[in-house]
Structure 1
Amino acid sequence: MTDTAVFPDLPPHYYLANFASIIDTVTLRYGDLLTQEEGDWITAFHDLPTNAQCLLVRFLSRKGHWFREDKLNYPEIDNLPHAISSLAEATFIDIERTPPFDVLCSLLTKPELLSHFDVLPLDKKSKKADLIEEIATHSPTAEPLTFSCLHVRLDVMPIFLLLYFGNARQDLSQFVLSDLGIQRFESVSLTAEVRLFTSRDQMKDWLDLSSLSEQYWQLSEKKDKHALLELSKALPFTTAWPPLERKRQRLINQLAREQERAGNIEEAMLLFSQSSLPPSRERQARIAMKQSDWSRACEWVNDMLASPFNEDEKDVAARIAKQLAKKTDFDCPVATEHLYEALHLSLPLDTRVEVASAAHFTEQGWTVWFSENLLLNALFGLTFWDIIYSPVSGAFLNPFQRSPRDMFSSEFYAARQSAIEERLHALAQQTQEESVKQRLATFEQKYGLANDWVVWGYIDKEQITAALLSLTPPQLVACFERILFDPKSNRAGHPDLFMVKGNTCQFIEVKGPGDKLQHHQVRWLNFLNSHHIISKVLYVEDANKSPCSNANS
């Protein structure tokens, strides 16, 4: 018998309370940036009766601006006709019986269209899209509908959601998770002093660029190559506001790749030259190599090797350097030796290879935990918890964030450098016992709060204690510095198993039949061993098929 989680019933008007949270937070943080129309909208909303407020929030939570009155089904809203008339009286909605033709066609089903335009000679076997085209050719004068259509006049959601969630596409489901107690979040500062947007122009530019990005993804899904190439012409100029500029450069890279794939090399290079984000330098180096412009290619690779943006760029620069060394006198960096030991083991694989391997080491006297992207990340999250959630401009937009907006970029360290370096220095000076005490205190105080670094269900105090008593503070500092260099990449690739026996600990990366080490896994194995943290790779064969020698454990 399995246990089933029981969640509390939501209050019938939970969504109204959630929406009130949005407009209250937006008013508090961005009241000075709202237009007169938006401010008046909020004031008028507060003056509505509760049933009208509920209905309007229901409308705003759905796609589109037009709704059929006869299809409304909200049993929790008292007296729907009164709610509708209240919204119309306060000019939040229009009530129409003869909506525009395109709206009418979107609201009616195919059978309803055939019935409504029964005077026209229509092919009943046509698909709805073809039927609409056929109706349009007759330029019909539509008769009033037998039901009312409700049109929401001012869609404030894009602005409100942008200011609250950081994008205009977010839905309100996150509120439901919080209301049900499925996720609990750390309390963060949401004052005007640390808001993301500081001007109306920033808001407009962000929405415009978001619209352009949305067009890119829609055209990509449709594989409309011509329109994708034309989209490059709509790119805005460079902006001095870093968050928007990073967003712009990400789109530039995507459009530049489209130009490159289309063979428009000059256009691609022009776009790539406007971006400092990966893979801009890599692509320019590869294009130069295809053109046999070895000198230029060497310049790009040297730039990447000298100041890599992240782990992936550092890795790809080293691989391109090897290619250049074969064609030129490029001084290729010496390849890093594999600092890790490779073990080989034969086990009957009646379960996951990691589980079978853990059982083997347990039999050898080790206490074993599954640690892949769990243990080191949890230690990082517990060590820097207060810094992660400290008030930094633009970091937190709403109470439902597992981490700050810049958590997985180089900006995270740059914006908190002083506090981070102070914490690392203090950690390096601590005894292992002091480190255990502080980390466990945070563990107990913050247990269950959503955090991108700590996966509570897979981490316990015993594992944390064992790790902190077997890894020295300087070793932890080294691991944390590596994560901080590239949080997005270096939060992954950690070995599968962590184990202790007496005063000895080790990490084991497990590879089953046919499985190979990935680049980020090799980097972590080499790094850990370079800091005298024993880390090995274990290749496991299925004993039922091809037995091999046992591992030295």
Structure 2
Amino acid sequence: MTNSQVKPSSLQRAAQRLGVATQTIALKPGAEPRTWRLPSGEAVRVERAAMAAFEAEGWRGYAGEGGLLLNLIKALSFASLAPRHASIYVEALYAGNVAFDEDRFPVDELVDQISRTTPEQLGANLAHWFERNPASGLYQPRSDALIHSYFPGLQRWMFVELYQVLGAQLLTAIARRFGDDPYQFRRGWPDLTLWKEGEVRFVEVKAPGDRLQASQKTIIEHFFQPLGLDLTLLEILPAADGA
């Protein structure tokens, strides 16, 4: 059968209906079910294995759905992020779903602040989640920051670099769209947030047998596409042992 005669997979057909780009990567399965091997031989979940493949091509980023971008929005939505607000989910802040009036802010006020928050203010706000190690000078997660329990793997440099590559104007537009329906748009985010040389990509990773969920279709159609964000559906194929 020639390439032109190869039938698209169910995921590729779903992507075609949604108008989403597709890509395939061959990875070696791990010994345990639903694991995949890194070049080192370590068996990891499929999102981390896919992330390693992109890192080998020079991409940087985060494998953890919307945890990075949504928390970046929260850190930018305040000129000075209070400790109590650092621990509240961004969707609750943007929906006003809070118990106390002091935690309730107009959405327009939160969104408009994003364009005014300086890199220095962002750094100060990130201090609620990360602290500089006196010995190494590097930033590490604060032991008392709950954010790392909910979004493991987040690092300070990810926030700084994503802020730089997206820019205040696009981040403001993203936050404004998020504020239209915070609880709807907190779900279904792509697995990977990637950037390289000024380009940002969002990648939804699907192992064999996986399908697009309703929340993923919703956020593609009603969030990513209206904003013109680059989203790719990545289909993982098992590589042969000798590959």
- Class of the TM-score when normalised by the shorter of the 2 chains: 0.5 to 0.7
Match of 1:365 among 54, 58, 70: 58
The answer to whether 1:424 aligns with 2:107 is no
Match of 1:346 among 26, 36, 40: 26
Aligned residues: 193
Cα distance between partner residues in 2 of 1:443 and 1:338: 36
Secondary structure of residue in 1 paired with 2:88: coil
In structure 2, runs of 5+ residues without a counterpart are: 1-16, 31-35, 37-44, 131-141
Over 3 Å counting, the alpha-carbon distance change for 1:540 and 1:528 in structure 2 is same
Q: Which has the higher contact order (CA 8 A, sep 6+)?
A: 2
Aligned letter for 2:109? E
Aligned letter for 1:360? A
The answer to whether 1:519 aligns with 2:214 is yes
Over 3 Å counting, the alpha-carbon distance change for 1:450 and 1:360 in structure 2 is closer
Cα distance between partner residues in 1 of 2:27 and 2:231: 20
Over 3 Å counting, the alpha-carbon distance change for 1:529 and 1:473 in structure 2 is farther
The answer to whether 1:528 aligns with 2:224 is yes
Match of 1:460 in 2: 155
Aligned letter for 1:340? V
Aligned letter for 2:24? H
The answer to whether 1:474 aligns with 2:169 is yes
Match of 2:48 in 1: 355
Matched-pair contact (CA < 8 Å) for 1:370–1:497: yes
- Moved beyond 6 Å, runs of 4+: none
The alignment yields a C-alpha RMSD, in angstroms, of 3.4
- CA drift at 1:477: 2.1
The answer to whether 1:505 aligns with 2:185 is no
Match of 2:76 in 1: 383
In structure 1, runs of 5+ residues without a counterpart are: 1-336, 391-400, 548-553
Cα distance between partner residues in 2 of 1:409 and 1:428: 16
Aligned letter for 1:542? P
Higher helix share: 1
Aligned letter for 1:440? G
Identity, in percent, stands at 22
Higher strand share: 2
CA deviation string 1:63-100 (max 9, x = no partner): xxxxxxxxxxxxxxxxxxxxxxxxxxxxxxxxxxxxxx
Q: Which moved more, 1:353-362 or 1:521-530?
A: 521-530
Cα distance between partner residues in 2 of 1:381 and 1:424: 10
Cα distance between partner residues in 1 of 2:75 and 2:148: 8
- CA drift at 1:450: 4.6
Aligned letter for 2:185? N
Cα distance between partner residues in 2 of 1:476 and 1:357: 26
Matched-pair contact (CA < 8 Å) for 1:378–1:453: no
Aligned letter for 1:407? A
Question: So what's the TM-score if we normalise by structure 2?
Answer: 0.65
Match of 1:538 in 2: 234
Question: So what's the TM-score if we normalise by structure 1?
Answer: 0.31
Over 3 Å counting, the alpha-carbon distance change for 1:366 and 1:402 in structure 2 is closer
Aligned letter for 1:464? F
The answer to whether 1:403 aligns with 2:88 is yes
Matched-pair contact (CA < 8 Å) for 1:402–1:452: yes
Matched-pair contact (CA < 8 Å) for 1:378–1:454: no
